[in-house]
Amino acid sequence: MTISFKEMGLAQPLLQATEALGYTLATPVQEQVIPAALIGGDWMVSSQTGSGKTAAFLLPLLNKLIAANPNNKPVPGRAEPQVLILCPTRELAQQVTADAINLVKFAKGIRIATIMGGMPYGKQISQIKGANLVVATPGRLLDLSNSRSIRLDKVQCMIIDEADRMLDLGFQDDIEAIHQLCADRDQTLMFSATFAPRIMQLATSLMNNPGRIELASAGHKHENISQTLHWADSIAHKHKLLSHWLSDPTMEQAVVFASTQADSETIADSLRADGYDATALHGAMPQAVRNRRLQSLRKGQTRILVATDVAARGIDVPTITHVINFGLPMKAEDYVHRIGRTGRAGRSGVAITLAEHRDRSKIRAIEQYTQQQLQAEVIPGLEPSEKSRKPTSRPGSGGRPGRSFGGKGASNSSNRQGQGQGQGEGKTFKQNHFAKPTGPKFGGSGKPSSGPKFGGSGKPSSSPKRTFA
Ligand code: AMP
């Protein structure tokens, strides 16, 4: 039985907020992380994008802040936060901030601020005065710390969100420096898609005997997202396939991923020329423009966002029904983050990948990483040539899985069109990562009734491994 937020012992204002947000039950990651983080100690968590991980770390931290300020006293106007959340990208930092603001709506005396590059310094410096919880990207945070605009020695808890992405973006040294600046903290939580060796190394240098909570592996099937591959002969062929999917009547909003910044502009231009409501988003744009474009997507004013991997994480817009990989990601794990932009919060979604013959090794890498085969299909009238549909050898299949590339795929495809297959139907709730996991149960007290043991310090005596792959 899933435990409720109330059973976890969360403060009343947080219960009100979860109710107002429509969170009736905790998601699996919340069910595991909230009680663990409330008990204390350091935790490494692997969880899938879109699983509710943000609230999983925000709720226990906000609970601690509320408990520490029972009289809702106004906070002094010093820039000395008690909670620090580090995010790899500005988009993710903004999303986490927005979630935190929603969750403290009914709590008085808790202030949230964001620190990130691309925004004016003066405004940020005045906003962080009196903030209890700061969400930051590492570079700007260190800038403000170096200029003594913020002190980090009062931080009690630090969260590193998307640690794998942090390392990809070269933030290791910055994180180490921030770790030193808040060395007196008593809790660190680290979230990552995987526990690859480099992540474990980072954890060893930052954390104290961390417990492990594993909720999803890269091989998680994303069962609420239908994933399809189309082989294409050329860029022009890809444009036709793209157009086909963007005309899908079930499409509410789509994110089209491009491999490069220039490509994202070109594809958006060409879609606009064809009469689509499309806009580009990439990291070379001024932050104010990025913000405006994201806001417009959130408000439903933009239907199609053509983006680089800057948008692969952190965008949480439940009405995104389709993700289309026009250009393939550089790294296989980014595929998982990209498709996680759809199928949010229990909805279903459609992920389409357009690949040319030369992309075969990238498709293989994605299949190996996700440990599942991408189903190749053809659209009648838009079939690829024989050469383009040459199959890849599939991980673990040993056979020739390309059989569905031919006529069978075509009939599947037309069936799909006819029956809709629940694509983007928003209301089709399938078994997915919001579903209950099997594994150790928590009793009504919100404490683990079996499984890892906690010593007197409130920390696990060894690094317990809980796997819900
Ligand atoms: P995240 O993985 O944090 O990006 O969250 C994905 C989506 O799930 C967001 O839209 C959240 O608002 C939503 N969400 C988080 N927790 C819950 C919950 N307990 N019930 C329903 N939706 C949730």
Q: Kindly state the average pLDDT of the residues 136-160.
A: 96
Q: How far is the CA of 463 from the centre of ligand 1 (A)?
A: 27
Lowest mean pLDDT among 47-56, 83-92, 122-131: 47-56
Check if the beta carbon of residue 311 is closer than 8 Å to that of residue 323.
no
Ligand 1 atom 4 nearest Cα:
50
- Whether ligand 1 lies within 6 angstroms of the CB of 345 is answered as yes
- Between CA 388 and CA 356 the distance in angstroms is 6
Report the mean per-residue pLDDT for the chain. Answer: 81
Phi, psi of 399 (to 5 degrees): -95, -160
Is it the case that residue 469 has pLDDT exceeding 60?
no
Q: Go through the domains of the chain in sequence order and give each one's CATH number.
A: 6-214 (3.40.50.300), 225-370 (3.40.50.300)
pLDDT at 70: 74
Q: Kindly state the average pLDDT of the residues 78-84.
A: 94
| Per-residue model confidence as pLDDT tens digits over 89-112 | 998 999 999 999 999 999 988 999
pLDDT at 391: 55
Helix (H/G/I), strand (E/B), else coil: 295 = helix
- Between CA 200 and CA 196 the distance in angstroms is 6
pLDDT at 19: 95
- Whether ligand 1 lies within 6 angstroms of the CB of 50 is answered as yes
Q: Kindly state the average pLDDT of the residues 38-42.
A: 94
What is the DSSP annotation of 59-110? HHHHHHHHHH-TT-PPPPS-S--SEEEE-SSHHHHHHHHHHHHHHTTT-TT-
Q: How far is the CA of 318 from the centre of ligand 1 (A)?
A: 10
| Per-residue model confidence as pLDDT tens digits over 248-260 | 999 999 999 999 9
Lowest mean pLDDT among 61-70, 137-146, 284-293, 342-351: 342-351
- Whether ligand 1 lies within 6 angstroms of the CB of 448 is answered as no
Total Cβ atoms within 10 A of residue 15 = 17
CA distances from 221 to 199, 304, 400 (A): 23, 25, 21
pLDDT at 323: 97
pLDDT at 439: 30
Q: Kindly state the average pLDDT of the residues 62-85.
A: 86
Q: How far is the CA of 33 from the centre of ligand 1 (A)?
A: 14
Which has more confidence, 467 or 399?
Answer: 399
- Whether ligand 1 lies within 6 angstroms of the CB of 392 is answered as no
pLDDT at 445: 31
Q: How far is the CA of 171 from the centre of ligand 1 (A)?
A: 27
CA distances from 82 to 101, 191, 253 (A): 16, 19, 38
The one-letter code for the residue type at 340 is G
Q: Kindly state the average pLDDT of the residues 338-347.
A: 82
| Per-residue model confidence as pLDDT tens digits over 381-429 | 999 987 766 554 444 433 333 322 222 333 333 333 333 332 222 222 2
- Whether ligand 1 lies within 6 angstroms of the CB of 51 is answered as yes
Instruction: Name the β-bridge partners of 178.
Output: none
Which has more confidence, 372 or 99?
Answer: 99
Is it the case that residue 163 has pLDDT exceeding 90?
yes
| Per-residue model confidence as pLDDT tens digits over 278-296 | 999 998 898 889 889 999 9
Is it the case that residue 461 has pLDDT exceeding 50?
no
pLDDT at 462: 32
Question: pLDDT class for 269, splitting at 50, 70, 90?
Answer: very high
The burial of 122, by beta-carbon neighbours within 10 Å (0-12 exposed, 13-18 middle, 19 or more buried), is given as: exposed
- Whether ligand 1 lies within 6 angstroms of the CB of 215 is answered as no
The burial of 159, by beta-carbon neighbours within 10 Å (0-12 exposed, 13-18 middle, 19 or more buried), is given as: buried
Cα R_g (the chain), whole angstroms:
23
- Between CA 459 and CA 326 the distance in angstroms is 46
Which has more confidence, 321 or 433?
Answer: 321
pLDDT at 215: 76
Ligand 1 atom 6 nearest Cα:
50
Give CA angle at 219 (245, 403), nearest 5°.
55
Question: pLDDT class for 165, splitting at 50, 70, 90?
Answer: confident
Q: Kindly state the average pLDDT of the residues 231-244.
A: 96
- Between CA 428 and CA 424 the distance in angstroms is 8
| Per-residue model confidence as pLDDT tens digits over 188-226 | 999 998 788 888 999 999 999 999 998 755 445 677 889
Which has more confidence, 327 or 333?
Answer: 327
Ligand 1 atom 14 nearest Cα:
52
Which has more confidence, 315 or 272?
Answer: 272
Measured from the CA of 314, which atom of ligand 1 is nearest?
A: 4
- Joined together, the tokens standing for residue 269 give 């231009």
Total Cβ atoms within 10 A of residue 228 = 22
Q: How far is the CA of 210 from the centre of ligand 1 (A)?
A: 25
pLDDT at 74: 64
Q: How far is the CA of 96 from the centre of ligand 1 (A)?
A: 11
For residues 173-182, one letter each, b for 16 or more C-beta atoms within 10 angstroms of the residue's C-beta and e for the rest, the string is ebbeebbebb
